[in-house]
């Protein structure tokens, strides 16, 4: 099967610090990875789409300087929340698409709490 792994599963950080979340496709190459944010009892909201080797495309309203996305290889994308604030506390989920395939597989999510 296609496995997408996120790390860490949960993280608590202080306001003003930066946090990096990793998303790895363990058994397939993913040319495209997606980053979502999910608030309690709400559906996933797409933050950005990243393609390996190029800059991420951010959705309207998402600050690219605050949510830094890097997709340096076909199996790894990272989301860095810079200068985190309590309102950044949320559930962050990544998904990855196989090359030439419409199926997108989700990671298990990362619960970020900023105190």
Partner 1 sequence: KNQVEQSPQSLIILEGKNCTLQCNYTVSPFSNLRWYKQDTGRGPVSLTIMTFSENTKSNGRYTATLDADTKQSSLHITASQLSDSASYICVVSPTNTGNQFYFGTGTSLTVIP
Residues that bind partner 1 (CB under 8 A): 4, 6, 32, 34, 41-44, 46, 49, 91, 93, 95, 97, 100, 102-109, 111
User: Nearest-5° angle of CA 87, CA 96, CA 51?
Assistant: 85
- State in angstroms the smallest separation of the CB of 6 from partner 1: 7
Give CA 115 to chain center in angstroms. Answer: 20
Q: Which is nearer to partner 1, 49 or 82 (CB)?
A: 49
> Prior bond to 82 cis, omega within 30?
no
With respect to partner 1, which residue has the nearer C-beta, 8 or 16? 8
Q: Which residue has the tokens 């080797």?
A: 53
**Closest CB to partner 1 among residues 72, 99:** 99
CB of 55 to partner 1, least distance (A): 14
List, in order, residues 6 or more apart from 26 with CB less than 8 Å away. 3, 4, 5, 75
In the complex, what is the shortest distance from the CB of residue 16 to partner 1, in angstroms, rounded to a whole number?
26
Minimum CB distance to partner 1 smaller for 56 or for 84: 56
Residue 19 · residue 88 · CB < 8 Å: no
In the complex, minimum distance from the CB of residue 24 to partner 1, in angstroms, rounded to a whole number: 13
């Amino acid at each position: 099967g296609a496995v997408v792994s996120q790390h860490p599963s949960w993280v608590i950080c202080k306001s003003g610090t930066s946090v990096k979340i990793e998303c790895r496709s363990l058994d397939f190459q993913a040319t495209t990875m997606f980053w979502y944010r999910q608030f309690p009892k709400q559906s996933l909201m797409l933050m950005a789409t990243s393609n390996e080797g190029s800059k991420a495309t951010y959705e309207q309203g998402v600050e690219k300087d605050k949510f830094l996305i890097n997709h340096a290889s076909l199996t790894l994308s990272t989301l860095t929340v810079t200068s985190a604030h309590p309102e950044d506390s949320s559930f962050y989920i990544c998904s990855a698409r196989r090359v030439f395939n419409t199926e997108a597989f989700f990671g298990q999510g990362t619960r970020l709490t900023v105190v």
